[in-house]
Chains A and B, each alone.
Chain A
Amino acid sequence: QKEVEQDPGPLSVPEGAIVSLNCTYSNSAFQYFMWYRQYSRKGPELLMYTYSSGNKEDGRFTAQVDKSSKYISLFIRDSQPSDSATYLCAMSRRTGTASKLTFGTGTRLQVTL
């Protein structure tokens, strides 16, 4: 079983829709939860990070963590064609001076006009 599971999609939604992207994980030691966005032929770009459980909002993006269920979500409101990308969840636990990230496989999102 992978430590982090993420539906690869693709997920296709019309412009303006609310998008929900999700990951589940098995390791309760994870404390930091990140969402990265990766455009085609580019490196991943950090979107948001959350420590422990709860919600965090940044503009049209909301990250949600439920540690009791080992489930994290990213919501995108009023989705735009420019949101079309692959979204990767990532998690880390403190390991000495470096916190290694464990990634999901990514969900490919397509926002259509």
Chain B
Amino acid sequence: SAVISQKPSRDICQRGTSLTIQCQVDSQVTMMFWYRQQPGQSLTLIATANQGSEATYESGFVIDKFPISRPNLTFSTLTVSNMSPEDSSIYLCSVSIQGRSYEQYFGPGTRLTVT
């Protein structure tokens, strides 16, 4: 397994601003993922953060809105840009271990409220 931390744990932001969420892992991992969890809905994959290359985005999510960085094998950031109240959600990063990409381990999440 891996220990994952996220910063900030929560934030309240104004419409039109941007927030960058950090995800730190205590060991080198192959894959890092970013999810959104809205009340009453499934965890939804936003993108896969690839080290050394651009992130791979899921349908409905675009780089301009959710730019992602992955500078090394232990760290990634997700930015939520030009926020609106619809972006209020919990954002989670997860990692998978080399050779077992079907198992994922999650960070504690960042609770974002946009006013």
- Which residues of A does B touch, CB under 8 Å? 2, 4, 8, 32, 34, 36, 41-46, 49, 88, 90, 92, 97-106
Give Cα distance in the complex from A31 to B30, angstroms: 21
Docked Cα-Cα span, A42 to B71, in Å, equals: 26
Q: For B24, what are the chain A residues with a Cβ–Cβ distance below 8 Å?
A: none
Chain A residues near B40 (CB, 8 Å)?
8, 105
Contact A92-B4, Cβ < 8 Å, known A44-B43, A98-B31: no
B48 adjacent to A98 (CB under 8 Å)? yes
Residues in A neighbouring B30, C-beta threshold 8 A: 97
Contact with A43, one of B1, B45, B56, B109 (Cβ below 8 angstroms)? B109
A101 contacts which of B1, B4, B104 (Cβ < 8 Å)? B104
Interface set of B (CB-CB < 8 Å, partner A): 1, 4, 30-31, 33, 40-43, 45, 48, 56, 92, 94, 96, 101-109, 111
The answer to whether B109 touches A42, judged by C-beta atoms less than 8 angstroms apart, is yes
Shortest CB-to-CB span from A99 to chain B, Å, is: 4
Nearest CB of B to A33, in Å: 9
Contact A98 B43 (CB under 8 A): no
Which residues does chain A contribute within 8 Å of B101, judged by CB atoms?
A: 97-99
Give the distance in Å from the alpha carbon of A43 to the alpha carbon of B42 in the complex.
13
Residues of B near A45 (CB, < 8 A) are 106
B42 in contact with A104 (CB, 8 Å): yes
CA distance A111 to B43 in the complex (A): 24
> How far, in Å, is B108 (CB) from chain A's closest CB?
5
Q: CA A36 – CA B65 in complex, angstroms? A: 29
Cβ B42 vs Cβ A32 within 8 A: no
User: Closest CB of chain A to B106's CB: distance in Å?
Assistant: 4
Closest CB of chain A to B63's CB: distance in Å?
18
The 4 closest A-B pairs by CB, nearest first: A43-B106, A32-B102, A99-B102, A103-B42
